[in-house]
Amino acid sequence: MRRQSAIIISDSADFARTLMAGWQAEREAPAFTLLNPEGYCQARILRGDLAVIAPLPRQRLEPLLHAVAASGTVAVCVLNDHGSGDSAWMRSIHPGSLMIFQPADSETLVLFCREVLARLASQERALEAERLAAENQHFATLGRYIAETRHGFNNAMTSLLGNVELLLMQPGAFSPRARDQLTTIRAMAMRMNQIMLRFTSLEGEMEIAEGYPPESASSIPQRKVGT
């Protein structure tokens, strides 16, 4: 699992230091980047998993939120005053941003941000699981197609191999070079037959695997050592 990253955007060194100190006490702290609001906007696209924005006046907060949104980073805005109207403004203009009124202690803010990161990590794992499931479905479809065409392929290979064997049973009918070529054809036909036998085995393995529901994988009988 990759290490997550958090960007702390603040004019206050105390805000950033307190937040980082509380967060680093956690078992899995993210990688931190500390910037002031103007520095973040000047960096153009600076992406992290989470951007924690210290209390700012609305005229400075708006361009910052646009920059964070453009980077695809989730923003957590810390607001100072319950009655300032900033929360209603943010809900209408920046519905994708999260808000928290500045708590009396840093532990509450750290807990809130940690839960946001945990949710993001869960979403990332879910997306990766969906990607792997789609990839596995692709290979399963390919495997089934090969299994379905195996019989026709085997019939063609059997006919090819049988005719080559008949030709090789006619001594003196071919030049040494032609016999060498027929021998090569026979060898390649036998090799292709071995490959198709592997597909037959794979088909059986797939049928066995599909017989067990994913949620009961632990119930699959285990072979004991020595049996």
* Top CATH class, 5-102: alpha beta
Cα angle 94-97-98, degrees, rounded to a multiple of 5? 135
Q: List the chain domain ranges.
A: 5-102, 129-210
**Mean pLDDT for the stretch of residues 77-89:** 73
**Mean pLDDT for the stretch of residues 39-48:** 80
Which tens digit of pLDDT belongs to each residue from 22-37?
A: 888 777 788 889 998 8
**Mean pLDDT for the stretch of residues 175-197:** 86
Model confidence at 111: pLDDT above 50: yes
Model confidence at 205: pLDDT above 50: yes
List the single range of 12-21, 116-125, 136-145, 158-167 with lowest mean pLDDT.
136-145
**Mean pLDDT for the stretch of residues 196-205:** 70
Closest CA to 7 of 48, 39, 66: 48
For position 9, what pLDDT does the model report? 92
Model confidence at 190: pLDDT above 80: yes
Model confidence at 19: pLDDT above 60: yes
For position 211, what pLDDT does the model report? 59
Which tens digit of pLDDT belongs to each residue from 129-153?
A: 888 888 888 877 777 777 777 778 8
Closest CA to 58 of 97, 18, 8, 15: 97
User: Which tokens hold the place of 37?
Assistant: 């609001």
For position 223, what pLDDT does the model report? 37
pTM of the model: 0.58
What's the distance, Cα to Cα, between the start and end of the chain in Å? 38
